[in-house]
Amino acid sequence: MATLAINGFVSVFAPEDSEQQWELLCQTQLQESTPIQGCWAHTDFGALLAVLTDRGEIVFFEEASQSSAIALRKQALLLHEGCQAISFGPKEHGLQLASGCSKGHIRIYEAEVSKGGREWVLQHAFEVSSLGGCTAMCWRPHTARLPPLILLGMQRGAKVYSYVSRHRSWEEVARFAEGTITDVAWATPAAGQAPEHVATASGSTVSVWKLAGPADRLQVTNAADLQHAAKVCQIEWNANGTWLAVATEDGRMSLWRQNLLGSWKLVSTSTCVDPGSLAMVD
């Protein structure tokens, strides 16, 4: 687990044997920048954490090759001016990282292994500025026989892009939602079941959407609007795509779940000690 603090500190923790206590493995303070988002790569690629700063830098924490320590590696290649969001792709696509900026530029990098370590090579770049700049992003969890899909939160709504292999390009396949989107999340698809669910956050509302149809012509319908007392800053599905966790700026974390009748119900709410001071990347 990693925590990002507004004073620039990035801390990486691991559970102790009891799993009720967390051991601090590494802590460092970014100089002249503030971490605004972090994401972990799949564990098949080792302990690799990407941290986005308010200067558009992407800084990597990764497992040192000759020790169990976590070392900080900074890749200037991934400097993306105005970058607002980053997301690692599913492991089945290789080690890929997507980034999106306030001007609507999307970049997708792939890591190549060299003698000096990982080198990040730009594979795709495209623009999505018709709804303003990119504010959030996530990949669709991998499923066989479907192309890679990316969900983008924008300044005036949300979009889904699909990779079209015959054109070797990313193309828009859905557009929905309104307002500035602060976070997005794609639920893990249930085996043999449709439609799929994604969630978008805007202001104090989290909207759940149903996605159906072929990947190149997605049909999107609103399933629920979940209201909160404060602005939503982060949303996340559980591994099975059945529970939705929502963190708000008042320090509350809410858990939502769909009941047997298809309605979304608030299951529980908890409060952190110091709201707004840090974000957790699990």
What's the pLDDT band for 9 if we cut at 50, 70, 90? confident
Could you give the count of Cα atoms lying within 13 Å of 185 in the half-sphere of its Cβ? 26
- Kindly report the pTM of this predicted structure: 0.90
Q: What is the pLDDT of residue 76?
A: 47
Are 137 and 101 within one domain?
Answer: no
Are 146 and 277 within one domain?
Answer: yes
CB burial readout 196-217, b (16+ within 10 A) else e: bbbbbbbebebbbbebeeebee
Are 119 and 136 within one domain?
Answer: no
Are 119 and 211 within one domain?
Answer: no
Backbone angles phi, psi at 78, to 5 degrees: -95, 20
Instruction: Tell me which of 86, 103, 127 is where a domain ends.
Output: 127
Are 67 and 175 within one domain?
Answer: no
Are 217 and 111 within one domain?
Answer: no
Q: Average pLDDT of 120-140?
A: 93
- Of 14 and 192, the one with more pLDDT: 14
Give me the amino acid identity at 109: Y
Are 75 and 185 within one domain?
Answer: no
What's the pLDDT band for 278 if we cut at 50, 70, 90? very low
Q: What is the CATH number of the domain that holds 246?
A: 2.130.10.10
Are 273 and 166 within one domain?
Answer: yes
Are 116 and 147 within one domain?
Answer: no
Per the structure, the complete domain to which residue 256 belongs is given by 130-282
| DSSP structural state of residue 130 | B
Q: Of the segments 7-11, 172-176, 250-254, which one has the largest average pLDDT value? A: 172-176
What's the pLDDT band for 208 if we cut at 50, 70, 90? very high
Backbone angles phi, psi at 250, to 5 degrees: -85, 10
Instruction: Tell me which of 98, 127, 156 is where a domain ends.
Output: 127
What's the pLDDT band for 193 if we cut at 50, 70, 90? low
